[in-house]
Structure 1
């Protein structure tokens, strides 16, 4: 069974969608550890509720980013994690971390990448006036919100949308496609070739 490690910084709603998919029998995986960089992250409460091992790692106690990331890697290795899932983890991973888990770190971003990377992607979409927005699951690489795209989902942008209403509509799609992408990985159906993800039909 696929062993998953989750990195989170906030409320962990995507973590919840993964937990729900596992409990429903849709996703055959086990979350072995939830790691946060924020002591007050609600993701920790969610992990506790479902008896999932969890840990807050304070980045401020480490001299540098490498030492902080090594602490995360040590925990992930201790739990023999196959796939690292970023669920609202608000830090860019270093090339060292990415190399250690090459094509085994997933991230979800609330835009149709490569458009609108970084923070406030929904506001960027509204400011630009796009008619369609959405979300992207991708393998993390050394860049910010770059890396091979696995799945995308679209939502219409309404004339009266605010950042909050658009974010909520996109979030519903995030909760749908993130477990789906993890399921494809667990079934060995994702192949990265020439910087693109091929979905293999078994």
Structure 2
């Protein structure tokens, strides 16, 4: 399966996905990495791995629709079959999302449906939750909505700040996203209605979403 990765920044999740795709027997490869920001550090990570890169600067487009249309053209030209948002800080139009329906993944740093949107870690601390985490889901037009593929739990520790909590959740993301991607490229995670059904290696259905234990 040809995978396209969308980034805006440092590319830490991109690196985790690159490592996963390099593992023996992985059934997908990254065909293209696109950034909407010319200076994104993740571009250098992709280039170092020999992966084609492209910058589509959103500032050069007058509307979201024209930007998304160019994004779609680039992904289609590269033969991409599955899109992974990896720190891509753009809200995509409904038209783009529907074009890639059930073929676009996103990772969010909370246990959805809790704490959608921005400033997630501070909001979790303000709410006094004891457990938070991260979620990989298929993208829908609504922000941080869509069928959940996998989640990982991360404890909130005494004395945590938004920064320390974010760092611990990011470590979980680097484990969860490759796992979820593998399930999708192997055809073991499929959308039925608005839920994900997972298949075990023997083809039998297993409960979804996949939930990783608390990561210390």
Fold in common (TM above 0.5)? yes
* TM-score scaled by length of structure 1: 0.96
Check conservation: 2:16, 2:178, Cα contact below 8 A.
yes
Structure 2 match to 1:173: 172
| Residue 94 (structure 1) shift | 1.0
Q: Which residue of 1 aligns with 2:209?
A: none
Distance 2:28 2:171 in 1: 21
CA distance, structure 1, for counterparts of residue 193 and residue 109 of structure 2: 24
1:92 Cα offset (Å)? 1.3
Q: CA deviation digits over 1:7-44, x for unaligned, max 9?
A: 00010100000111122326332111100111111111
* Equivalences for residues 126-145 of structure 1 within 5 A: 126-145=125-144
- Matching residue of 1:152: 151
Cα RMSD after superposing both structures: 1.0
SS at match of 2:74: helix
Aligned to 1:85: 84
Query: How many angstroms apart in 2 are the aligned matches of 1:103 and 1:187?
Result: 14
Q: Which runs of 5+ in 2 are unaligned?
A: 204-216
TM-score, structure 2 normalization = 0.90
1:112 aligns with 2:111: yes
In structure 1, what is the equivalent of residue 192 of structure 2? Answer: 193
Q: How far did 1:194 drift? A: 2.5
Secondary structure of the residue aligned to 1:116 is: coil
User: How many pairs were matched up?
Assistant: 201
Q: Post-superposition shift, 1:123?
A: 1.1
